[in-house]
Amino acid sequence: MARLAQTEGLTDIQREILSTVRDFVDKEIIPVATELEHRDEYPTQIVEGLKELGVFGLMIPEEYGGLGESLLTYALTVEEIARGWMSVSGIINTHFIVAYMLKQHGTQEQKDYFLPKMAAGEIRGAFSMSEPALGSDVSAISSKGVRDGDAYVLNGQKMWLTNGGSSTLVAVLCRTDEGHPEGTPPHKSMTTFLVEKEAGFGEVRPGLTIPGKIDKMGYKGVDTTELIMDGLRIPADRVLGGETGRGFYHMMDGVEVGRVNVAARGCGVAQRAFELGVSYAQQRHTFGKPIAQHQAIQFKLAEMATKVEAAHAMMVNAARKKDSGQRNDLEAGMAKYLASEYCKEVVEDAFRIHGGYGFSKEYEIERLYREAPMLLIGEGTAEIQKMIIGRRLLEEYRIQG
């Protein structure tokens, strides 16, 4: 039935994984998502189901107990999950980024210790760059780690941690001066710390407080929090990769795959909005015929479907580029930018097709309408994507002389 957003050239295993996930989404997520979202309730049962399916270890190598799948498989899985409920893809996303950063940059001991537990979903990851005074401008980070014997002492305040309460491992980006002489550029004096903690709120480790959930307009169910470090001691062997000064690069690498992931979420939400719009348009009658028979509504459906197709194609292209070992910042930036903008537009059109009922909490589109804006902001705003795209284009198309 789903003609849109097909992906050519998938392996049998990829097709099997996606069909299993789609089935799970249709049976276990869509029927309960809106109700849980309205109650801002953490989807414990759904998360347990996804653990059983192996989704938390999808991209973790088999030697560490994961499925060793590609970024493409992961992104297509996320697209399916976001079609059901965007918040659930958010629960997996930060976990996936931290596991990816560990796989790419961790010491052997860090990989051996964390990855098997992450593959099983026993340890759950969150990542933390943003602070109250900054999000786009990562180089302005003020949280600081100072060496003290065989540990670092961390102080500072972080903001907007997706899964801040439910996670048990947070990759925290801090400034560290050790070994970096004065005048070192900010991006060369940052370090990622692997901070283990209890799940929950309050003082979750000596020197580390997660105050509580931030009340949001959408993206409910998943907890988003602040994080306060006040003399938090982290052993030196919990510096990601064992080397200070590399944190900015670690995070940018993580965010790059994260952007493909956010693009995939935009694709999934837009697909669901299209499904809701095309179905409602055939049921609602005005002026003696289904509204789908009015050309103005057909044009909306045509535009929505075209956007769903275009966003999906760009997202798949960005994932495949990374899987082939090539730099994909340009493609990931474009995919994230386009998919999030199109998602917002497709959701708005589906909302309009619903007329007054779109404004009622009884209809799923009301939830999607509050969820889509988050994708315009998370993993870098549209302006930041355009800065990345613009810079890369000028590198690629530099004129001689």
Which positions lie near ligand FAD, rule CB under 6 A?
A: 94, 127-130, 134-137, 160-162, 216, 219, 224, 374, 377-378, 380-381, 383-384
Amino acid at position 28, single letter:
E
Phi, psi (deg, nearest 5) at residue 181: -60, 160
For CA atoms 111, 117, 119, 125, the dihedral sign is negative
Give the pairing of strands 151-162 and 144-148.
antiparallel
Give the CA distances from residue 354 to residues 34, 210, 301, in Å, rounded to whole numbers and listed in that order.
17, 40, 12
- The residues facing 228 across adjacent strands are 157, 209
- Give the catalytic positions in this structure: 379
Query: What is the full DSSP assignment across 145-164?
Result: EEEETTEEEEEEEEEEEETT
Rounded Cα distance, 62 and 54, in Å = 11
**195 in helix, strand or coil?**
strand
Residue nearest to ligand FAD (CB): 135
The CB density around residue 216, as the number of other CB atoms within 10 Å, is 16
Give the pairing of strands 169-176 and 125-128.
parallel
Closest alpha carbon to 274 in 300, 251, 293:
300
Beta strands in 236-338 (DSSP E): 285-286, 289-290
- The residues facing 153 across adjacent strands are 146, 233
Amino acid at position 228, single letter:
I
To ligand FAD, the closest distance from the beta carbon of 215 in angstroms equals 11
